[in-house]
Amino acid sequence: MRTFRLAFLLIISVFVFTDIQAQSPSSKPPVYVLVHGAWHGGWCWQRVSSELRAHGGIVYTPTLSGQGEHKNILSAAINLETHISDIVNLIEMEDLHNVILVGHSYAGTVIAGVADRIPERLSKLVFLDALLIENGQSAFSVQPKAVQEVMNKSGEKDGGLTIPAWPADVFGVTDPADISWVNSRLTGHPFRTFSQPLVLQHPYGNHLPMIYISCTVNQLPAIVPYAEKARNSKDWKYYELKAGHDAMITEPKKTAALLESFN
């Protein structure tokens, strides 16, 4: 009887060990960190994050300093480095690894800075209809002079602290209920996050796989050059999404499905 028990335990241990060995890193649930664009907050990812979580994904939707629910800490001290540190700190404090880091619009600048600092914690960079700001450039400096003048003038309303939010329809949101929902949550964007140049110590993307998703419905003119750059470069994987700029709100299922395809 004792011999039988030992044999049984040995068989069980072999099965357990084999099962553990069979589990590869790819079998772990994907980890997404979704970073919102200017004037938005983590709230804008609600529909996409619900889809990703329903399919087993681990999802973080941080709100950058001075935005959304953090509008109460808005100050002139918030700059691009602050926003980059927001995401670096989240990833480090949550001890995240193999992160699929997604940046929408302005946040393309943010995730480029994050990749420059902690590439070892990331698996891919996904730029969703995003700015591709190079080392030494800023989100402000790459704008046409006429746009810079408009931004400067609009920023004067609160002493240069913020750039007031554009209305939801500019971002391709057309459903009246969605427009109301978005407009009630948009906040002024800290001016210095647009004006401070991005400083990179490594090549753009820091040798991580880079993916660009172009939202093709009434694409914002400011985004077109970056989508074209990604489409025509061997350094990028390029995809198109038939949606307006705020695809996470107007086409959450399509957006989530595309993100899941990158696992």
- Report the alpha-carbon distance of residue 79 to residue 82 in Å, rounded: 5
pTM here?
0.89
Q: Which H, E and C letters describe the chain, residue by residue?
A: CHHHHHHHHHHHHHHHHHHHHHCCHHHCCCEEEEECCCCCCHHHHHHHHHHHHHCCCEEECCCCCCCHHHHHHCCCCCCHHHHHHHHHHHHHHCCCCCEEEEEECCHHHHHHHHHHHCHHHEEEEEEECCCCCCCCCCCCCCCCHHHHHHHHHHHHHHCCCEECCCCHHHHCCCCHHHHHHHHCCCCCEEHHHHHCCCCCCCCCCCCCCEEEEEECCCCCCCCHHHHHHHHCCCCEEEEEECCCCCHHHHCHHHHHHHHHCCC
Residue type, 124: K
Residue 14 pLDDT greater than 90, yes or no: no
CATH code that applies to domain 27-260: 3.40.50.1820
| Burial group, residue 137, by CB count within 10 angstroms (0-12, 13-18, 19+) | middle
At residue 256, the pLDDT reads 98
At residue 56, the pLDDT reads 97
Residue 196 pLDDT greater than 90, yes or no: yes
At residue 160, the pLDDT reads 85
For the stretch 156-188, pLDDT in tens is 778 889 999 999 999 999 999 999 999 999 999
Q: Which residues have CB under 8 Å from 110's CB, separation 6+?
A: 35, 64, 80, 83, 84, 86, 87, 103
Look up residue 197 and give its two tokens. Answer: 């140049």
Share of the chain above pLDDT 90, in %: 82
Mean of per-residue pLDDT scores for the chain: 91
Active site residues: 105
Q: Looking at residues 67-92, what average pLDDT do you find?
A: 97
Residue type, 115: A
- Report the alpha-carbon distance of residue 199 to residue 151 in Å, rounded: 22
For the stretch 91-120, pLDDT in tens is 999 999 999 999 999 999 999 999 999 999
Share of the chain above pLDDT 70, in %: 90
Residue type, 68: G
Q: Looking at residues 37-51, what average pLDDT do you find?
A: 98
